[in-house]
Amino acid sequence: MTTTGDGGPAVRRLAEWDADDLLELAAEYDTPLYVIDRDRVTENCARIREAFPDAHVDYAMKAHAGQAVLRTVREAGLGAECASAGEVERAFDAGFAGDRIRYTAVNPPGRDLDRVVERWREHPGLTVTVGAADTVDRLRERGFDGRLCVRANPGVGAGHHEKVQTGADAKFGIPIERVADLAAGWADEFELVGVHAHAGSGISGDDLPAHRELVSRMGDLTREIESRAGSLEFVDVGGGFGVPYREDEPPLDLDAVAAATREAVGDTDATLSIEPGRYVVADAGVLLTRVNTVKRARDATVVGVDAGMTTLLRPAMYDAYHAIRNLSADADGAEGAGDATGSRETTPVTVAGPICESADVLCEQRPLSRPRRGEILAVGNAGAYGYEMSNTYNSRPRPAEVALSGTTVRLARRRETIPDLTELER
């Protein structure tokens, strides 16, 4: 296991979670069940701060906006980067001060702007990031003249899937060649504090050249704006730092990424700012699910479980890989405990959920210790974009979530019920 400073191991593999502890949680809280380890979140925050000691670090709340995580992140010294008015409210609920909250708008609905401007009047340290001149007009109409950050589209994207490569997507930000002119004009009317760009999500070692190019372009943009409109407080180059989802993938060399980022941004008085999300929480979470059906199909053994694409959307949405482990098989024999396959005979299986869609599979033809009905499987790296993307399609209530801290286990979110789903209906 690779370790880095005080931040704990550089990556926590699914095999390193204690099978007996997870089985006890499944027995007490039922399944599907998300488990988030707050201590691991703290370790990941510490490793980021160690690699970027002079940077301003905001946590990208879209990865996991549960209060247990947000309070842990705040206690670790990170700020909050919010993609919606709802996330802004969650950040305040978690105790973040207004000057530690940044609202990054992407085509924001009017009610979002209404709420955020209302919050800004109460907390003038709140920063609003805009990705369109039209958004500035809408803020002006609402009386906003506070801290403004401009999101640029640098024309460079990276990430684990084309659907999350934002840096070159026209939806995100103002074309970088137009930003300096606009920013210079806005500096007289607003408190222009920074510029922002984000390459994408799940950036791996192969993506680093593109990320460095984005950072370099943002450094050039910062210097151009400073020469025309005065100094900026920060230059935000986004987050998207990847984690190894496959068992044989190495962890990201965060120190090397930090060094390359500092070199690429170049000389400027603006503070480097980053906004990691996935890196903070992905390997701090697992999803527990119970086997309900095992059947032999024509070309596969299908293992039906009670978690599906409404519980964990990433495999259906991005064809994402998540490690899967048969905890019950591991607990059967000390020889296999802690091993992804355990001591029982392994067989290739397709793990499928209960949703009426062919895309509702967590893996296909994956070697697992042969599952039996009633056994518990664990899905790894479920802390990022797991619960956040869960939904109630097929009228399936969302799962419960427990938060671990040392030896303390707390129910962080209760399990939804069918009456919860119909409560708002008339």
**Residue 205 pLDDT more than 90?**
no
| Residue 388, CA atoms < 13 Å, CB-side half-sphere | 23
Asked, for residue 330, whether it belongs to a domain, the answer is yes
According to the annotation, is 131 in a ligand binding site? no
Domain with residue 182: its CATH number is: 3.20.20.10
Q: Centre a 10 Å sphere on the Cβ of residue 72 and count the other Cβ atoms it contains.
A: 27
Amino acid at 266: G
Domain with residue 363: its CATH number is: 2.40.37.10
Asked, for residue 369, whether it belongs to a domain, the answer is yes
Choose the catalytic residue: 45, 82, 149, 356.
356
Same domain, 139 and 262: yes
Same domain, 241 and 355: no
Same domain, 182 and 268: yes
Same domain, 289 and 144: no
Same domain, 186 and 260: yes
Give the structural domain span for 207.
Answer: 105-276
Same domain, 175 and 227: yes
Same domain, 313 and 270: no
Give buried/exposed letters for 330-366 (b at 16+ CB in 10 A, else e): bbbeeebbebbbbebebeebbbbbbbeeeebbbbeeb
Mean of the per-residue pLDDT values of the chain:
90
Q: DSSP letter string over 26-37?
A: HHHH-SSEEEEE
Same domain, 115 and 249: yes
According to the annotation, is 119 in a ligand binding site? no
Domain count, the chain: 2
Asked, for residue 292, whether it belongs to a domain, the answer is yes
According to the annotation, is 345 in a ligand binding site? no
Place of tokens 């962080």: 412
**Residue 337 pLDDT more than 60?**
no
The yes-or-no answer on residue 82 being catalytic is no
Predicted confidence at residue 426, as pLDDT, reads 83
Average pLDDT, integer, range 227-235: 94
Q: Centre a 10 Å sphere on the Cβ of residue 19 and count the other Cβ atoms it contains.
A: 23
Dist CA 177 CA 49 (whole Å): 32
Same domain, 333 and 368: yes
Same domain, 413 and 325: yes
Same domain, 291 and 270: no
Domain endpoint, select from 276, 301, 334: 276
Q: Centre a 10 Å sphere on the Cβ of residue 115 and count the other Cβ atoms it contains.
A: 18
Closest C-alpha among 155, 158, 138 to residue 241 = 158
Residues 6+ apart with CB under 8 A from 408: none
The answer, as to whether pTM is greater than 0.75, is yes
Domain endpoint, select from 220, 249, 276: 276
Same domain, 264 and 309: no
Query: What is the band of 339 on the pLDDT scale with cuts at 50, 70, 90?
Result: very low
Residues 6+ apart with CB under 8 A from 212: 260, 261, 264
| Residue 322, CA atoms < 13 Å, CB-side half-sphere | 33
Average pLDDT, integer, range 26-53: 97
Domain endpoint, select from 276, 297, 318: 276
Q: Centre a 10 Å sphere on the Cβ of residue 16 and count the other Cβ atoms it contains.
A: 12
According to the annotation, is 245 in a ligand binding site? no
